Structure 1
Amino acid sequence: MKITVVANGPFLIDTSGEWSWTGEAGTKTGKDRIALCRCGASGSKPLCDGTHRKIGFTAEGGECELTPG
């Protein structure tokens, strides 16, 4: 699994497979990647909806890679 902190944007999580998220709004699923809100203003939290661009969110980026075991 690789987590990329996008400069001025969300956390991108490369799952290398399918993912599912269960919350108050039900279950959402997708493939390979999930973008999590980092600006706190997304209308679809915890997922990113691009609001960071509208509000001028700024923050540094980076990345880390996690290996099982």
Structure 2
Amino acid sequence: MPDRSPARVEITGEGPVLIHGPVELVMPDGVRIRSERAVTALCTCRRSRRYPMCDTSHRRCARNRRKESE
């Protein structure tokens, strides 16, 4: 019998959205992406080269902003 517990989605604020547990993403063009990982990180800044998956590109941008404001 499949596990019916709800997926947990974590909004991190300055980084990706974290989805805990397996997930299937449906893209605007209908392509489906399945992730069986324990935690899947979804990009919210659109800088990821692996969009919609996060590749931590937001970290480089945040560092650059900090340097400019100093």
* Unmatched runs of 5 consecutive residues or more in structure 2: 1-6, 28-32, 64-70
Query: Whose helix fraction is larger, Structure 1's or Structure 2's?
Result: 2
Distance 1:51 1:2 in 2: 23
Show structure 1 runs of 4+ deviating over 4 A.
Answer: 19-23
- Which of these residues, 3, 6, 15, is aligned with residue 9 of structure 1? 15
Deviations 1:22-68 (A, max 9, x none): 87xxx6643211000001100100000000010129xxxxxxxxxxx
TM-score, with length taken from structure 1: 0.60
TM-score, with length taken from structure 2: 0.59
Q: Which amino acid aligns with 2:8?
A: K
Q: Percent sequence identity over matched residues? A: 27
- Which of these residues, 34, 38, 51, is aligned with residue 57 of structure 2? 51
Number of aligned pairs? 56
- Which of these residues, 26, 32, 41, is aligned with residue 35 of structure 1? 41
Query: Whose strand fraction is larger, Structure 1's or Structure 2's?
Result: 1
**Alpha-carbon RMSD:** 2.7
Higher relative contact order (CA 8 A, sep 6+): 1
